[in-house]
Amino acid sequence: MDVTKNAGTQEHSMEEDGPEVHGDAGRAERRRRGALLVTGGVLLVAVVSTVGALGIGGGGGDDGKAPGRTGQVVRVTRATMTDQTEIDGQLGHGPEVPFPVKADGTVTRLPATGSVVRRGGTVLRVNDRPVVLLYGSLPMYRELGVTQAGGTEATGNTQTGADGTSGARTRDDDTAKGGDGSTTPSPPPAGASAGRATPLHGMDVKQFEANLSALGYSGFTVDESYTELTANAVKRWQKDLGLPQTGRVGIGDVVYAPGPVRIAGTGVRLGDAASAGPVSYTSTHRMVTVNARADETGWAQRGSRVTVDLPDGHSVQGTVASLGSDAAASDGGDAGAGDKGTGGGSDGKAATVAVVITFDDQTSLGRLQSGPVTVRYTVKQRKNVLTVPVAALTALAEGGYGLELADPENGTRDDGREGGPGRFVAVKTGLFADGKVEVSGPGLREGMKVRIPE
């Protein structure tokens, strides 16, 4: 019994282990069979993986679909697309304008640069007499006052003829000498009575009277006639200025500007003779000046809104106030947006025109008075369009661009194929701006999920 059992066990061992009787040769044979089994398993896994990647063979509900991608998923959104272009500008107070000072004499006082002068203030002093700022667009081109019939002054110690000549008044002014040396009174001009005051008329009179009234002087009517009532108000004004009360306004006594001014600089020194432009001024409001290429000023229409990036990092909204009518040559590097150094001029220079940008809220500019800025203006805008990040676009083999769908709820496409993950829908691109692109197509809708390829 034991012999049989042992024999059976020995037989079983021989069946499991193979030809054990051969010793080392048997063990080598087993090793070769193990290596073949491992190699075959690796090949099988590779074949299965390749078949799965190609979508070949069975597989249940995922038939015909590529495996999921690992890129970021984004939604198709609806928004307004805006394409903007940048151009360099300069923050300041606008162009400098020289005062047309007509006073003759020696400059005895000059204003401080950066100071503000308002209506009734002194711009400078010539022969220790103030040259007063008034508001208006019409320059001072003649003296203002009341004249007597025949063209002589009605006030003061001198008479001025119709031709502008003047001289001291004497007792003989109103008489005529005969051939024998006798004198007889000179007859008054026809249609006028002797000694009758004649008002001076003109728009310059009205402009001056409007200023006089705004300064608080009254008793006259603001119109185009400089009457005795106007002269009386002028005498009160002259008294307050510490001037002789003549009732007349000399051509060099006042200068006109559109409004309050900021003194930009002086072209003379104390003791120099007053010239035509001893003092220059700018606006009191800060503004931006841009030298834009003459062939690229379509954006610079009066009233157009722009964005200005300030040196301190924040941005404000501005309005185009004016576009210059005179072009000037400028190096291409300062020509503004677009291809620089082309489009006008020669030797790499482009013609530019000045564009002035103003601000409704001066406080939005902070404390900055000057400095370089960047002006951004809208070139093109598309409202209420579908957009995706530019990175979501995929070039299609048949040409054009498409989006890879990532949402199993995307539905069925127009061609009848399922629109789930792994499928592509062709799109038409529009405006590119700020890292996004306008897209359109029959299989596209707002809220659809698409994948950004890695």
What pLDDT score was predicted for residue 233? Answer: 98
Cα 234 to Cα 409: distance, rounded to the nearest angstrom:
86
Average pLDDT, integer, range 281-303: 92
pLDDT at 169 over 50: no
Which element (helix H / strand E) includes 78?
Answer: strand 77-92
pLDDT band (50, 70, 90) for residue 328: confident
Report the percent of the chain where pLDDT is more than 70: 66
What pLDDT score was predicted for residue 83? Answer: 85
pLDDT at 418 over 60: no
Which of 337, 258, 334 has the alpha carbon at shortest distance from 300?
337
Cα 123 to Cα 116: distance, rounded to the nearest angstrom:
10
More confident residue, 308 or 159: 308
pLDDT at 273 over 90: yes
What pLDDT score was predicted for residue 296? Answer: 86
pLDDT at 315 over 90: yes
pLDDT band (50, 70, 90) for residue 106: very high
Q: Residue 185 in 3-state DSSP?
A: strand
What pLDDT score was predicted for residue 434? Answer: 85
What pLDDT score was predicted for residue 24? Answer: 47
pLDDT at 184 over 80: no
Average pLDDT, integer, range 223-236: 97
pLDDT at 267 over 80: yes
> What is the side-by-side strand order in the sheet with 116-117?
97-98, 279-283, 261-266, 116-117
The model's pLDDT over 26-68, given as tens digits with 9 standing for 90+, comes to: 444 444 444 333 333 333 333 333 333 333 333 333 333 333 4
What pLDDT score was predicted for residue 117? Answer: 98
Report field, pTM of the whole predicted structure over 0.75: no
CB 226 within 8 A of CB 82: no
pLDDT at 279 over 50: yes
What pLDDT score was predicted for residue 150? Answer: 52
What pLDDT score was predicted for residue 274? Answer: 93
- Within 8 A by CB and 6+ apart from 303, the residues are 319, 320
pLDDT at 333 over 70: no
**Among the ranges given (11-20, 86-95, 372-381), the one the predictor scored with the smallest mean pLDDT:** 11-20
- Single-letter residue type at 329: A
pLDDT at 14 over 60: no
CB 74 within 8 A of CB 407: no
What pLDDT score was predicted for residue 331? Answer: 57
pLDDT at 101 over 50: yes
CB 250 within 8 A of CB 153: no
The model's pLDDT over 386-398, given as tens digits with 9 standing for 90+, comes to: 999 999 999 998 8
Q: Give 325's Cβ-side CA count (13 Å radius).
A: 0
pLDDT at 347 over 80: no
What pLDDT score was predicted for residue 413? Answer: 45
Average model confidence (pLDDT) for the chain? 76
Domains with residue ranges and CATH for the chain: 2-53 (no CATH), 73-81+381-451 (2.40.420.20), 97-152+195-281 (1.10.101.10), 285-369 (no CATH)
The model's pLDDT over 355-370, given as tens digits with 9 standing for 90+, comes to: 999 999 999 999 989 9
Average pLDDT, integer, range 215-220: 97
CB 9 within 8 A of CB 17: no
What pLDDT score was predicted for residue 454? Answer: 76
pLDDT at 420 over 60: no
β-bridge pairing 315-323 and 279-283: unpaired
What pLDDT score was predicted for residue 409? Answer: 59
Cα 224 to Cα 272: distance, rounded to the nearest angstrom:
37
pLDDT at 321 over 80: yes
